[in-house]
């Protein structure tokens, strides 16, 4: 199935790099490096040069941190979305928000995709996406409210729970008027999960791919990688790429990442091994 994100369409064999651009002072990985306008613009320029098809702009840290109300979130992201739309017309603009009032403003400014990282907490979000012809990401958070860390969460079967929640949200988006080819599901590693849950989601990601909905994975430098390897955020790239390889072999379509070039090379290699992508050059033993 083709994937249509706002004004952009991608074929069924294309994988997409979604580069993270945080407009926050307290992001866990870059510690606010792109909070200011200048560094954020340079980050977009660099990731586009590195081959990112999507930039995912967020104005609120996912976990605990400073209080950011809707007005402040809008201030952080809406003018920036408009700038990216003007200066990088070929890139898909995604905004990471759970608030429909923020989604309305960013879509009006030119966003193509609403990344609802908190699993339908605001039910009006899908209506905004439908109204503006934007895509939407439907995530599994186990019912946690926004910015809540999981504590002693339990599932009979975490993969079955992730499939049930994300596909239900996808069907709701479809009923609201979002086209099927504009709906993506995300198991949301770490969100509403402990490390064992995230490892199992990774191992069994093929079950989510088998639903037929395009799958996004957000693995980049996350805690499940750090806890598995005993590594701080800045030393998790190798573990992230290992998890990425497993998800790529299973058929994930979109990869939300900090390091674009490394992830692109990893995914391309795995998709070629899987027979979904031809090598760029194949002359060995042929000439």
Active site residues: 222, 256
Strand order across the 92-96 sheet: 183-186, 135-139, 113-116, 92-96, 54-58, 16-22, 254-257, 216-217
Tell me 31's DSSP state: T
Per the CB < 8 A criterion, the answer to whether 32 and 91 are in contact is no
How far is the first Cα of the chain from the last one, in angstroms, to the nearest whole number? 36
> Tokens 């979130």 correspond to what residue?
73
Q: Which of 112, 22, 29, 106 is nearest to 70 (CA)?
A: 106
Distance, CA of 237 to CA of 225 (rounded, Å): 9
Helix, strand and coil in the chain, % to nearest 5: 45, 15, 40
H or E element, residue 8: strand 8-10
């Amino acid at each position: 199935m083709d994937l249509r994100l706002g004004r952009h369409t991608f074929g069924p064999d294309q994988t997409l790099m979604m580069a993270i651009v945080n407009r926050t002072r307290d992001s866990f990985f870059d510690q606010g490096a792109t909070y200011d306008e200048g560094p954020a613009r340079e980050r977009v320029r660099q990731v586009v040069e590195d081959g990112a098809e999507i930039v995912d702009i967020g104005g609120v840290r996912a976990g605990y941190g400073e209080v950011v109300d809707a007005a402040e979130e809008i201030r952080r992201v809406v003018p920036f979305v408009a700038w990216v739309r003007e200066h990088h017309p070929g890139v898909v603009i995604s905004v990471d928000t759970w608030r429909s009032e923020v989604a309305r403003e960013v879509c009006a400014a030119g966003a193509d995709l609403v990344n609802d990282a908190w699993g339908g907490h605001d039910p009006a979000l899908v209506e905004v996406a439908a109204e503006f012809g934007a895509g939407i990401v439907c995530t599994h958070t186990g019912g946690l409210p926004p910015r809540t860390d999981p504590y002693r969460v339990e599932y009979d079967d975490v993969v079955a729970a992730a499939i049930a929640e994300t596909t239900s949200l996808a069907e709701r988006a479809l009923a609201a008027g979002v086209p099927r080819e504009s709906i993506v599901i995300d198991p949301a590693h770490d969100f509403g999960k402990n490390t064992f849950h995230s490892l199992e989601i990774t191992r069994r990601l093929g079950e989510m791919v088998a639903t037929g909905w395009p799958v996004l994975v957000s693995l980049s430098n996350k805690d499940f990688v750090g806890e598995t390897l005993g590594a701080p955020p800045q030393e998790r790239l190798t573990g992230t790429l290992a998890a990425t390889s497993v998800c790529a072999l299973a058929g994930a379509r979109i990869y939300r990442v900090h390091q674009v070039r490394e992830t692109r090379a990893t995914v391309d290699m795995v998709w070629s091994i899987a027979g979904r992508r031809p090598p760029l050059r194949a002359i060995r033993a042929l000439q």
